[in-house]
């Protein structure tokens, strides 16, 4: 199988799992918890001061910021989705962590975009402590960004350690720059 096709299957597989879980949980909350209401299984009541499901809507960005920006965030979601799909094949084959992070981000963007297009608002339902109410799509985007940042930080740290120990860099050498140095 072509490696790019395989990579896209991974991207759309991770995104698909995120979208499916996000849409199913949002549907479940809309069907089973009245708007503004809270729910927690009885056997988990001890968690209620710290975590619970609530039925809430958000017309802004993740975690309730920038309310009433549905149109802006709909357009932004299309831009982000396009950028991920465009950039994805340019990721090195060894960049599986980045590919996984991009799948999470794609799934989160599409999950919330579906709500924005159908309902003009996003269903949020996860309430933890005093943190703003969020959903699976928000969590997918946030975890994807965190994984991406952690991967970049770990790679930069490894490169600095290699440089400090005198090991050769794993970065490819740009032959054009070397030729111009030789000529000069």
Which active-site residues does the annotation give?
124, 138
Pick from 21, 25, 23: which is nearest to 126 by CA?
25
Distance CA 26, CA 33 (A): 10
User: Where does the chain show beta strands of DSSP type E?
Assistant: 38-39, 51-58, 122-128
Distance CA 13, CA 45 (A): 35
Q: What is the DSSP string of 17-58?
A: HHHHHHHHHHHHHHHHS-TT-EE--GGGGGGTTTEEEEEEEE
């Amino acid at each position: 199988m072509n490696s790019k096709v395989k990579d896209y299957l991974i991207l759309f597989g991770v995104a698909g799992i995120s979208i499916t879980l996000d849409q199913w949980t949002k549907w479940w909350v809309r069907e089973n918890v009245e708007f503004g209401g809270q729910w927690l299984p009885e056997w988990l009541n001890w968690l209620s001061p710290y975590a619970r499901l609530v039925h809430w809507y958000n017309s802004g960005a993740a975690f309730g910021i920038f309310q009433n920006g549905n149109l802006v965030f709909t357009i932004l979601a299309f831009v982000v989705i396009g950028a991920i799909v465009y950039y994805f094949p340019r990721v090195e084959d060894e960049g599986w962590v980045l590919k996984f992070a991009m799948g999470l981000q794609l799934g989160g963007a599409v999950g919330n975009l579906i709500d924005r297009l159908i309902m003009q608002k996003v269903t949020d339902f996860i309430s933890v402590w005093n943190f703003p109410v969020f959903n699976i799509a928000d969590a997918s985007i946030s975890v994807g960004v965190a994984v991406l940042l952690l991967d970049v930080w770990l790679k930069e740290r490894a490169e600095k350690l290699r440089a400090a120990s005198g090991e050769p860099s794993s970065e490819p050498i740009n032959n054009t720059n070397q030729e111009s140095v030789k000529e000069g």
